[in-house]
Structure 1
Amino acid sequence: MLIILPPSETKAHGGTQGPLDLGSLMFPELNPTREGIGKLLAALDPEEALGVLKLSQKHRAEVEANTLLFSSPTLPAVERYTGVLYDALAAPTLPDSARERLAISSALFGVVSATDLIPHYRLSGTSRLAGATMKSHWGTALRNVLTQLRESGELIIDMRSGAYQNLGKVGGPGAITVRVECVLPDGSRKVVSHFNKSYKGQLARVLALTPQPAASIADVATCAEAAQMRVEVRGQELVLVV
């Protein structure tokens, strides 16, 4: 079982480990693309980068960090990303066995494991580099490795947002996806937007900590219900009802 989380625009600064080592990352087949995107990103002058990445001057320190992409200190990916989902996940309290079930999507790295060591950077799935979308930069590379993983029998629980799924969807029958809906006073449903990240973080934590990894969407639903979550199964989509 591999749970793929969305990244976060907000990230912890600094690091406790040495510089980026592409060879140590999950899915080494992605390294040519990672290196190509990384070099384009690091080569951007900070002033130019603000325009390319559509950021204001208050983010200047982040685009300056991009220029040090290959030399700055690193942190485990699950500690690098911050925000609502990662608060709910409470990664610092997860044992290594739970972290091994987690991966994180990224415009720069495609997908990395929770324990992969990555630097601080700023790049979004909707960004453009050298005039091309991130989807164009990734081509079929990410799709191929995720599809091969699924075909090997691994259950993939894909919690990525649409922008990151578009960088490389799982081919074939696909992965389990997660949707969060709230019930309105009239009984109708509405997709939860911002706080869906918190619910996904909670579900990811439950699944990462379960003694036996889920092998099907029925198993995922059972784990969620055991944690007092209300869920519905719609094909290969798990709906959290809040």
Structure 2
Amino acid sequence: MKILLPPSEGKAPSPGRGSAVKLSSLSLPELTATRSELITALTKLCQGPRAKAVSTLGLTPGLASEVEKNAQLLTAPAIAAGSLYSGVLYEALDLASLSTKAASRAEN
């Protein structure tokens, strides 16, 4: 059984370099086509007029800068969720304390 942790509000800075996300390497590979379709639509929206993307996505002024990040989803460097997110759930999980087998399972 997998328990999926929701993203938290705390995030590490994005890596400055590295590989983009490879959708086929994510868990639940049967969702690859759907993920690709959704990310393609989102990046297309966010590469267009900013005001339209902000309105369509219902972003508050404080989150409007996320449009630029979304426009680069397919090409921006990516890191594993366990390295990106922070917060009480991720701190309680304490990935660094897991056995090699458990850590590998958590990353997938």
Q: How well do the aligned residues superpose, as a CA RMSD in angstroms?
A: 2.3
Paired amino acid for 1:41: L
Residue 11 of structure 1 corresponds to 11
**Residue 59 of structure 1: which of 60, 63, 79 is its match?**
63
- Report the equivalent of 2:2: 2
AA aligned to 1:20 is V
2:86 aligned with 1:85: no
Aligned residues: 104
- 1:40-51 aligned at under 5 Å gives the runs 40-45=41-46, 46-51=50-55
Looking at secondary structure, tell me which structure has more strand per residue.
Answer: 1
Does 1 or 2 have the higher relative contact order (CA < 8 Å, sep 6+)? 2
Shift in Å, 1:32: 0.7
Q: Which residue of 1 aligns with 2:74?
A: 70
Unaligned runs of 5+ residues in structure 1 are: 103-113, 116-242
Structure 2: any 5+ residue segments left out of the alignment?
none
Quote the Cα distance in structure 2 between the aligned partners of 1:12 and 1:47: 27
Cα displacement string for residues 40-78 of structure 1 (whole angstroms, at most 9, x for unaligned residues): 111123332322332222223322100000000010122
Secondary structure in structure 2 of the residue aligned to 1:19: coil
Runs of 4+ in 1 over 6 A off after TM superposition: none
CA contact (8 A) 1:78 1:91 kept: yes
Alpha carbons of structure 1 residues 100 and 83: separation in structure 2 relative to 1, 3 Å: same
Q: Are the structure 2 counterparts of residues 20 and 10 from structure 1 closer, same or farther at C-alpha, using a change threshold of 3 Å?
A: same
Deviation at 1:94, TM superposition (A): 3.5
TM-score when normalising by structure 2:
0.75
In the other structure, the counterpart of 1:33 is 34
Task: Name the CA distance, whole Å, in 2 between partners of 1:93 and 1:62.
Answer: 32
Q: Report which of the two has the higher share of helix.
A: 2
Larger radius of gyration: 1
More off after superposition, 19-28 vs 40-49: 40-49
* Residue deviations 1:129-184 (CA, integer Å, cap 9, x gap): xxxxxxxxxxxxxxxxxxxxxxxxxxxxxxxxxxxxxxxxxxxxxxxxxxxxxxxx
Q: Matched residue of 1:73: which SS?
A: coil
Q: What TM-score, normalized by structure 1, do the two folds share?
A: 0.38
Mapping of 1:196-207 within 5 angstroms? Answer: none
Q: 1:68 to 1:8 in 2, by over 3 A?
A: same
Aligned partners of 2:91, 2:58: CA distance in 1, in Å?
26
Find the counterpart in structure 2 of residue 211 from structure 1: none
